[in-house]
Each structure stands twice: as C-alpha cells, then as structure tokens.
Amino acid sequence: MKKFSGSFAVSALVAAMSLSGVSQANVTDKDILQDQSTVEDVVSNGLGPRGQRYSPLDKINTNTVKDMRPVWSFSFGGEKQRGQESQPMVKDGVMYVTASYSRVFAVDTKTGDELWEYNARLPDGIMPCCDVINRGVALYDDLVIFGTLDAKLVALDAKTGKVKWKKTVADYKEGYSITAAPMIVNGKVITGVSGGEFGIVGKAEAYDAKTGKILWSRPTVEGHMGYIWKDGKKIENGISGGKPGQTWPGDLWKSGGAATWLGGTYDPDTNSVFIGTGNPAPWNSHMRPGDNLFSSSRLAIDPDTGKIKWHFQTTPHDGWDYDGVNELIAFDYKDGGKTVKAAATADRNGFMYVLNRTNGDFIRGFPFIDEINWAKGLDKNGRPIYNDEMRPGNPSASEDGKKGSSVHAVPAFLGGKNWMPMAYSQDTGLFYVPSNEWGMDIWNEPTAYKKGAAYLGAGFTIKPLSEDHIGVLRAMDPKTGKEVWRYQNFSPLWGGVLATAGNLVFIGTPEGYLKGFDAKTGEVKYQFNTGSGIVGSPITWEQDGEQFISVVSGWGGAVPLWGGEVAKRIKHLNQGGSIWTFKLPKS
C-alpha cells in the first residue's frame, strides 16, 4: 500500500473516506420516524419507534425460508459470556450491537469483521438485579448511545467508538443501573433506570442527544418533584401525581421503586412516550396499603416537557413483583368502519390490555396464560378483581412475626411475559406474544429500607406447571382476546419476536434455535441452532437487494439467577456471546 506523508495527503484521505460512506451513521429524526418502512437500515429499537417489530420485507418468506443459511457469525469473545439480550442496529453497512458487561461492538454487515469495540470500565460495586445484560444502542447523528450497568449514558463516535460525551443518570451505589436501549425522540435521548429491587425511585429523563445536556427529569413515584432545565437553570416542573402520601403510607414513597427499567416506545400520532414502571418497593405489600402510584403502570409522557399525560395501572397494590414495564405498542384497527387508535401490552401479571392510546382508557383485557390465579378477572375499567387468597400473608399476623403464610401464585414473578418484546403484524392483525407458564411459592417477611441493599421483604421459589413446556409463543387477536395459535417450548422463552411481510414470525429459544413460524398457522418453517441460548431480539434488513436476518445468541438473563426449580431444569444450557447473520443463497 502506498504510504502517505504530509498533512495534505492525510486530510485528503480522511475526506475520501468520509465521502465513501463507510462507517457513517448520520441518523436523523426523520430516519428514526420512518424506520419501519426504510428496509435498508434498522435505526430504532423495535424496528420503528412504535415498537411493532414488523418488517415489510418478504424475500425471505414461508416458501423460501427453508433455504436460509448463516453467512457470518461474530463472537463477543473474552470471559464475559453472560446473557445477551441485545437488538442490533444497522446503518450504512455497519451493525452496532451491545454485549454483556456494558460493551458495544461495530461490525461490518457484509463480512462480520469487527470495526471497533468499546468496553465500559465498570466499578466493583454495580448492582444489576438480573444478570449483566444490555438491550441495545440508540443511534443519532454520528453517535452511538447506550446505558451502562453503573447507570451512565455514554455516546460514542460511530466511526471510531471513542467517547463523545458521558453523563451520570443516577448513583449505582443506591442500586441504580441501566440495561434498556435508550430511545431518541426529536433530538432527545430518553432513558429509564433499573433498581426496583433496591428501593430506588424510578424516573424517566431526557438529554440533548448531541451534547448530553439534561433537559427534563420525571420521577415515577407519586409525590416526587419533576424538573426541567432551561438555559442551564433547573426549574421545578410539577409534583408527579400531586402531593406525597395519597396512595402510599408514611414515608414509603421515598423509596417506592417503580423502576422504568425497560425504556419505552414512542407514538408520533399523539406525541407520547409510552414507558412502563416496575414493582412498588418493597415486595411485601402489607407495608404499603394503597394503590402505590405510579408503580406497575404504563405512563404516557410528553417528550417535550416530561409531563405525565395519563397513566394506566395494571397491578394496583402489587404483591407479586408484577412489574408493569412491558412494551406498549401503538396500532390501529377498524371497529365498525371506524379507526381505533389503540395500543396493546402483555403484562407480567398474565393479562393483555388494549388501551385507547389518546387518553389511556381501557378498551379490553384478557388473560394470555392458561392458569392465572392471583386475580379472577378485570373489571370494566381494567382493574384486577383480586383473588384475596393468592396474596402472600402478612408476617405480623404470623406466630413469630417473621414469616407470613405462603401462597402458590400464577404467574410467577418472572411473569406471564417478561421483558422480551412481542411483535405486531400489519398483515395478520395479530400480536405474537412470547410467554411463560410457571407459578411460584411466595411469602412475605419484615424488611426495612437500607440504601444500596435488597429491599424485598419476600421469599419465593419459582416452579414449572407442566413436565413438557414452560415457554409458549402465542398469536393473539387484540380484537377478540382469542389465541389463534401457539407453539410450546420446553424452556422458558426469553427472547424478542420479529414479524415480517413474508408471513413469518421469528423467535430464538434457550435451547439455541432461531425458529421461524408461519404467521397465520404457527407451523414451524425454519430452525437453526446457534450454539448457545437466544435471549436477544432478531432484526431484518436489506442490503444490495438481499434480505438479511440477524440475532444475538448467548444464554443468560434473569431465569438462571432467579428461576428456582426452573433454573435447575435448564442448567445444562451453555453460555455464549455471538451475532448470527442469515440470508438466502444467491439465485
């Protein structure tokens, strides 16, 4: 290769490189808003800000998918093979993907060659509840932005992986961390926080995506003050939900949990960020009589100001760790010729909800698991009708005051559905819901808040409900609540779903398979074993006229750590850490 010397030659080379379009990621707000229809890139978590995880690509379809094969695999390497829950992004021939322990990789989409790697330097005292996972980056302008296990936002140069800005979102010593992919809304990067098992106070925050300057902060526990920053000044912006103490006893709201740990989706129609909140703290519900707002809820937040426009609480006075964080996906459907602006979510508590996304009104709800027992159903407003016998007993009513009576509640706290995102097909009008059938023995114990320590007041053992399966991928009709088809899997499903116009639905399994199903019938049309369990979310995109599918493989996450008797049943599954990319052979 010819050697360059002198500043003129070097700057000419740099100019030539930037013109060639290699390693560019100048992502605009328009790119993000249009992401679903622009098949040559994936620049949002959820393949579009609404999070439908639906692609109009159809070259890989129910007829051709049998010929699909891997074209490259990339290893995250090192000794850090833990749960890999990331969704990759693709822009201009480069894939940006996160890995366990707060790492980011840029990879050439044609070859699988590494372009750069960023390793966050994590302190010893990080407190992630549920494995050292990360769910992906946000792309904006020439930046790759992600959240770390020590609760920072880091923006990297898309070309080099060098840090452009870094902000501390919260104090990891109090139990905060970040595992969700941040989202970009009109030039703002919006993030939530994890830490509901440590008595943190949940919040959503917006930062200027280009500079990292904070713009607003919205706590998600009733009684805490919100703030907005104008010209560098911090200004009070209303107390979340009004005065403290309305739905919380005493000072419990000061350590009330409601962690916004899964981030959110964005609905351009109503200019709302939909973000969910986790369990109220502590788990022992006898310590906090009341609805405990805004825990276990979906919130619609104004992205310009951080104001809460409406909330819908799925589990008021939660006593089972039924976090309400699961994705709320905007979709339209016709009812008697009228278009309904709806949004759907499948909750940890085993019920699926269809809401009016303009105001949060309940349209309908229905169970999506088989043996739900903590509630007898939902009332006309979508509020659960509790089965009082299934609330773990009050420890102070027990003989020694140390352990309340145990109950066998269904679903287990890991949920009828956990973080793994469902998909909505615009062709079939169905939601494809990754769910799990399991129960738990759960009991309450006395506890007190101590900064940086687990704050549960509960003990538990998760148990399978059958010998032959735990995971169930379900096709659910949001207009009727009917299950159209199901696929049962031996291990719990823990990865996201992708739906395509090729009449296909993809999901990975802990056994290592990437599986493709007929979207209408549920017939298995494809499977390939990636060598470790899949707990990531597949994507698809087009390059040079060919359709590609990629998924991250690497077993881990909450199940092996918290799964009780279920964890024993799946302990043979091997860890890993790699991306797999597939396509059809050239015709």
Binding residues (CB under 5 A) for Ca ion: these are 35, 38, 41, 196, 278-279, 321, 323
| In the complex, minimum distance from the CB of residue 322 to Ca ion, in angstroms, rounded to a whole number | 8
H-run or E-run covering 572: none
* Angstrom distances, CA of residue 279 to CA of 64, 196, 288, 319: 44, 6, 12, 8
| In the complex, minimum distance from the CB of residue 132 to Ca ion, in angstroms, rounded to a whole number | 17
| In the complex, minimum distance from the CB of residue 37 to Ca ion, in angstroms, rounded to a whole number | 7
Of 294 and 485, CB closest to Ca ion: 294
Quickly list DSSP for 225-246: EEEEEETTEEEEEEETTSSTTS
C-alpha 290/C-alpha 277 separation (Å) is 17
C-alpha 374/C-alpha 369 separation (Å) is 12
* Angstrom distances, CA of residue 335 to CA of 341, 346, 367, 479, 526: 10, 21, 22, 9, 35
Which residue type does 411 have?
P
| 370 belongs to the catalytic site | no
Catalytic residue among 31, 35, 131, 321: 321
| In the complex, minimum distance from the CB of residue 174 to Ca ion, in angstroms, rounded to a whole number | 16
- Here the tokens at position 142 are 């020439």
Of 532 and 537, CB closest to Ca ion: 537
Q: Is 326 exposed, middle or buried (0-12, 13-18, 19+ CB in 10 A)?
A: buried
What lies within 8 Å, CB to CB, of 220 at 6+ separation is 201, 202, 203, 204, 240, 258, 259, 260, 275, 277, 294, 295, 297, 299
Of 100 and 279, CB closest to Ca ion: 279
Does residue 88 have a cis bond before it (omega within 30 degrees)? no
H-run or E-run covering 453: none
Of 196 and 241, CB closest to Ca ion: 196
Of 47 and 115, CB closest to Ca ion: 47
Decide: 417 and 348 in contact? Cβ < 8 Å. Answer: yes
Residue nearest to Ca ion (CB): 38
SS3 550: strand
| In the complex, minimum distance from the CB of residue 32 to Ca ion, in angstroms, rounded to a whole number | 9
Residue 401 phi/psi, 5-degree rounding, is 75, 10
Q: Pick from 470, 563, 550: which is nearest to 60 by CA? A: 550
C-alpha 466/C-alpha 514 separation (Å) is 24
C-alpha 393/C-alpha 151 separation (Å) is 35
Which residue type does 500 have?
T
Q: Is 80 exposed, middle or buried (0-12, 13-18, 19+ CB in 10 A)?
A: middle
| In the complex, minimum distance from the CB of residue 44 to Ca ion, in angstroms, rounded to a whole number | 8
| In the complex, minimum distance from the CB of residue 41 to Ca ion, in angstroms, rounded to a whole number | 4
Each residue of 524-559: b (16+ CB within 10 Å) or e? ebbebebebbbbbbbbbbbbeeebbbbbbbbbbbbb
| In the complex, minimum distance from the CB of residue 456 to Ca ion, in angstroms, rounded to a whole number | 9
Each residue of 371-404: b (16+ CB within 10 Å) or e? ebebbeebeeebbbeeeeebbbbebeeeeeeebb
SS3 374: coil
| In the complex, minimum distance from the CB of residue 427 to Ca ion, in angstroms, rounded to a whole number | 18
| In the complex, minimum distance from the CB of residue 406 to Ca ion, in angstroms, rounded to a whole number | 19
| In the complex, minimum distance from the CB of residue 468 to Ca ion, in angstroms, rounded to a whole number | 28
C-alpha 261/C-alpha 275 separation (Å) is 9
SS3 464: strand
Which positions are annotated as active-site residues?
321
